[in-house]
Every structure is written in structure tokens, then in C-alpha cells.
Structure 1
Amino acid sequence: MDDKTPREIIGRRNRPAKAPLSREVIVATALGILEKDGMSGLSLRRVATALDTGAASLYVYLANLDELYSLMLDQALAAVKLPKAGSLSWRDRLKKYLLSYLHVLYGRQGLAQLAMSTIATGPNSLRMWEVLLGLLKEGGVADAKLVWGVDMLLLYVTAVAAEKSNWRATGQDFGRVKSALSAVSAEQFPLVSALFQGEWLSGMGDGDARVRWALDGIIDGIKANRMPLPDPST
């Protein structure tokens, strides 16, 4: 290049204008980072860098990282779908709704782990609670048991989603597990040898059979179990 050729200098004013910051933009950016890099790659500084701004500017819209987590989870929960009533019973609608929640969490890297450590209180989370409380109430569950019942159902499904997500992330080798179980001594571990075979492992992959079965058990327990009596010593 000729040293006398003038260089083109691009000033800050000539750069494309940045999209204005907002809670919506911050949350969408954070969800993109979560899906790409998981929870370990998510921080306010990382979000700020992606938005070409300083971390301090995010505090105009967020109190802290925990609030960002809550907003992210609530935004993701908008995708959970409530099945139409039709001829479905309250129990079938409840299970379908919870399976939709499971698939939403599993469908995005890091989202199940986020749900395990975050309590969302936005409109989508509240809608989920309203639907689940209503379905259990429709099924005859007493009001005193509704909140604990929904909490138990959500905790189970969230844990399953986190389990399946971890298996996917680590490349869990079920062939190795099957080989190990098939080699178990029937004399030393007769029940393990007889029962921990293909039938048990069939529900450990992407199928929902194990989850449906467990949900029926939890629902039956919620309906049948009594609330604990107050502890007189407290």
C-alpha cells in the first residue's frame, strides 16, 4: 500500500446505531448466551459485552443477577402449552401440561439448571401456578394441599429435565450402564439382576413413559395423603 494513500477512519458516529437497552433486550440476549454456553457462561458482564455496553448500565433495568435469572425463566415459560379440555380428564390435562413444561426446559441448554435454582414470579410463572392449582382443585384435591401438591409436581418435573439435560451435555453412555447391569451377580444381588434390565432403562432416555408413571404416583399421593398436623413443640 502506498504510504501516501489516505486511510479511511471510521469514527464512533459512523458505526451502526445500537439497539436501545431494555429489559426485553437484556433478557433475550441472556437467553441466547444461556443456550449457547449454559449457566457457566452467563454473567452480567457477559451480557453487557454482548450488548456492547458496560455492566453498570444493566443495573438501570435489573437489581442483580438473580432478577435476571427470574426474568429469563419467566420468559421461557411462555412456551408451556395448556392442552384444550375436549374429552380429556383433569388428570390427563395436568400430565400433558407438565410434560409441556418438561419439554420446554429440556429444549434449551441450561434452562433446566436455571429452573432448579431460580424462583420466577412473573406473569408466565403465575399463569402456570394458576393452571396447576386449578387442575388439582378440579380433581378434588383439598385447598390445604394444593400449594404443596403443585410444588411437588414442579420439583419432580424440573429435576427430570435437569437430569436429562445433564445426560445430554455429558454424553451419558447407556450402553455402558446396560453392560454393567447385565453382569451383576444374580446370587449376590438377585433383585438388581432380575429387575434392573431393559425395562428399567427403557424409561431413562427421551421417552415420557417413566415421567407419566411417576406423575400418576405423585398425583395419587397428593390426593390420598393427609397434611401433617402442627408440631406442638414449635
Structure 2
Amino acid sequence: MSTPIRERAPITPAVVVTAALDLTRRRGLSGWTLRDLATAVGARTNVIRYHVGNRADVEAAVVAEVCAAIRLPERGSWTDWIRVLAARMREVFDRYPGAGRAVAAGTGPAAPLLEAVVAELERAGFGAESELAALAVMVEICLSRGPGLELLITGLTARLTELRRR
């Protein structure tokens, strides 16, 4: 008599990414391996690679999901918009340790967030300096917990005032 095969839900990219999000929530983005992820979904690592890719691909998928969980603020003053965005980003990053560090670069799956900050700063009048200012804002939000954001906003406000005088 043969041993019955355990029935389980099919493994899909969504199942893999959901398990990776759960591991990230519990251990942080760098606190798990593909082997840990494979164990979590009840498969071998080659199944993870088949459905999602290598570790970098899985991490990018996790960061994309984390970024998708961040709601952009409604229109208002650019300073209030940045403050609200920062609060929302930090709230999400607190649930997914290590994701903020991955988002700080503003590339890959984090690019839409960076683009939203650039657009808001362009709307405020920063012009050609919008991209650099947006990158500074993103890095500050993602990596800092101190008064740095308020100091950055103060500096950017002074720079914007100077730009408007010209």
C-alpha cells in the first residue's frame, strides 16, 4: 500500500511572494533564504526559481508589494504631502523590516514612489532640481528616524524660496 500524497494548494508566483512577505514581516528582508522560503511553501528551491526567479527577483517582488501598500497622499502643500507620505512609508516599513533600505535607492520596484515624489516637487516649483531633491527625500524617509526629514524640508523650502526669487 502506498503512502497517500498530501494535497496542497498549487504553488504560484502569488503564493511564493505571499510567503516571502510573511517571512519578511517576521524576520526582515535579509533574514531569510530561498531555502527558508521553499520550506514555507512546501517545495524545493528550484520551484521558487521556476515561479519567481532567484533571490534578487523574489526580493524585488517583495519590495514591489511593499511599495504597492503605500498610499500616495492627496494634493495639498508639498511639505504636508511629503510629511504624510513619510508617515505612510514608515508605517509600512515598520511591518516589513529591511524594505526601506531596498526602497531608498529609488530604482526597480521603488521607481514609481520616487517618480511620485519628483512629480510633487516639480509641481511645487523645484524644476530641474526635483529629481535630486526627491532622491534626498526618499533616502531620508527610508533610512532615518530622527529630525532629519524636518531639517531637509526646511532646507528645501529655503531652496525653493531662492529659486522663486530668481
TM-score, normalised to structure 1, is 0.60
Look up the match of 1:83: 73
- Shift in alpha-carbon separation, 1:225–1:51, aligned structure 2, 3 A: farther
Look up the match of 2:3: 11
| Identical amino acids, percent of aligned pairs | 18
Whether 1:102 aligns to 2:90 is yes
Q: Select 2:135's aligned residue among 146, 151, 172.
A: 151
Residues 26-84 of structure 1: per-residue CA shift (max 9 Å, x gap): 11101111221224531111100111111011111233211111110110112212222
**1:34, 1:111 → 2: CA distance?**
8
Alignment of structure 1 residues 178-197 onto 2, 5 Å:
none
* Amino acid paired to 2:18: A
* Amino acid paired to 2:12: S
Q: Which has the higher helix share?
A: 2
CA RMSD of aligned residues (A): 2.7
Look up the match of 2:63: 73
**2:56, 2:106 → 1: CA distance?**
9
**1:71, 1:215 → 2: CA distance?**
30
* Superposed displacement of residue 222, structure 1: 5.8
**1:90, 1:109 → 2: CA distance?**
27
**1:41, 1:56 → 2: CA distance?**
20
Q: Which runs of 5+ in 2 are unaligned?
A: none
Relative contact order (alpha carbons < 8 A, sep ≥ 6): 1 or 2 greater?
2
Look up the match of 1:27: 17
Q: Which runs of 5+ in 1 are unaligned?
A: 1-8, 165-203, 205-209, 227-234
* Amino acid paired to 2:150: W
* Amino acid paired to 1:12: P
Tell me, yes or no, if the aligned pair for 2:24 and 2:32 is still in contact at 8 Å.
Answer: yes
Tell me, yes or no, if the aligned pair for 1:35 and 1:109 is still in contact at 8 Å.
Answer: yes
**2:162, 2:125 → 1: CA distance?**
13
Residues 182-209 of structure 1: per-residue CA shift (max 9 Å, x gap): xxxxxxxxxxxxxxxxxxxxxx5xxxxx
Tell me, yes or no, if the aligned pair for 2:118 and 2:134 is still in contact at 8 Å.
Answer: yes
**1:114, 1:42 → 2: CA distance?**
15
Tell me, yes or no, if the aligned pair for 2:73 and 2:81 is still in contact at 8 Å.
Answer: yes
Size of the aligned set, in residue pairs, is 163
TM-score, normalised to structure 2, is 0.81
- Shift in alpha-carbon separation, 1:10–1:109, aligned structure 2, 3 A: farther
